Amino acid sequence: MPSVAIFVPVYNEEKILSENVVHLMSYLDGVLPGYEIIIVSNGSTDSTVEIGEKLATAYPEITFSHTHERGVGHAFRRGVSLARADRIIAIDADLTTDADFIPRACKLLDTYDIVIGSKKRGIQERSAVRIMGSDLFILFARVLLGLPYGDYSIGAKAYRREVIMRYLDCVGGGSSYVIDIIYRSWRDRARIIEAPVRCSDTRKSHFNLVHEGIYRFYRLFGLWFGK
Ligand SMILES: Nc1nc2c(ncn2[C@@H]2O[C@H](COP(=O)(O)OP(=O)(O)OP(=O)(O)O)[C@@H](O)[C@H]2O)c(=O)[nH]1
Ligand SMILES: [Mg+2]
C-alpha cells in the first residue's frame, strides 16, 4: 500500500506530461519509498489522455483518469477517490515548484493535517501581474475570513486524507477547492503549517486568468457570506 499519493491535475499538457512525470518519478524513487501518482485530466482536447493512459500502462505507480467535465476541483475529487494512500500531495504538471516540497510535506504530515506550500513565504519568479493577483487574493482572504496563510493555489499542498474527507462534499468544482478545504479545516482548528517553496513559473497559465480571478473572488465572497 503506497504511503503517499501525488495528485497531478492536467489540462492539455501533451507537451510536458510524459517527460515531467518520468522526471518526477526518478526524483521520488530516491527520496520517497512507496508512492503512487494519480493523474487526472478534465476535458483535455489534445493528446493528454492518450499520453496519460500510456504512462499508466507503462508504470505500476501511475493511475490515470479523465472526464469531459471542466474544473480542477472535480479532478481533485476524482483523484482522492482513486488514491489508496492516506496522504495526498497536489503538484502542478509543469513542476514549477521545487519537488523537494514533496518529501518535506510528507514528513510534516506526521504531525500536521495540512501543509501549505507557500510561494509568498518562499521565493517566486512569476510575472508581476500574477504575483499582484495572488497578493490581492491573499489579502482579501485575510481581511474577510481571517485566514493567515500566503498561498491558495493548487500546487504544493499536502493533506491528510481524513481531513479532506470531512469537507469533500462542500468543495467547489474549480480551483477554489483549495481555499474551501483550508478555510473549513482552519475554522475547525485543524493542524495547518506553511512551508516556504521556491516557484519559477514563467509559462503561460492553462487557466483563463480573468475567468479564474472572477471565479476565485466569487467563491471567496461566498465563504465570507456563509461565515
Ligand atoms: N484536471 C484539470 N487540471 C487543470 C485544469 N486547469 C488547469 N489544470 C492543471 O492545473 C495545474 C496548474 O495549472 P497552471 O497552468 O500551471 O496554472 P498556474 O496559473 O501556473 O497556477 P498558479 O500556481 O495558481 O499560478 C497544471 O497541472 C494544469 O494542467 C482543469 O480544468 N482540469
Ligand atoms: Mg503553472
Give 101-114 pLDDT, tens digit per residue: 999 999 999 999 99
Ligand 1, closest atom to CA 205?
A: 15
Using alpha carbons only, what angle is made at residue 73 by residues 49 and 124, rounded to the nearest 5 degrees? Answer: 90
The residue among 3, 41, 27, 29 whose CA lies nearest residue 161 is: 3
Q: Which residues, chain by chain, have CB under 5 Å from ion ligand 2?
A: 92, 94, 96, 201
H or E stretch including 201?
Answer: none
226 falls in which pLDDT band (50, 70, 90)? confident
Q: What is the pLDDT of residues 44-76, one digit of tens each?
A: 999 999 999 999 999 999 999 998 888 999 999
CA 94 – ligand 2 centroid, Å: 6
The residue among 190, 188, 184 whose CA lies nearest residue 170 is: 184
- DSSP states of 34-98 as a string? SEEEEEEEES--STHHHHHHHHHHH-TTEEEEEES---HHHHHHHHHHH--SSEEEE--TT--B-
Distance between CA atoms of 199 and 121, rounded to whole angstroms?
A: 11
Is pLDDT larger for residue 203 or for residue 92?
Answer: 92
CA 202 – ligand 2 centroid, Å: 8
Question: What pTM value is reported for the model?
Answer: 0.96
CB atoms within 10 A of CB 29: 11
Task: Decide the pairing of beta strands 4-10 and 35-42.
Answer: parallel
**Structural domains of the chain sorted by starting position, each given as residue range(s) with its CATH number in brackets:** 4-225 (3.90.550.10)
Question: For a substitution probing ligand 1, which of 44, 72, 216 has the most ligand atoms within 8 Å of its CB?
Answer: 72
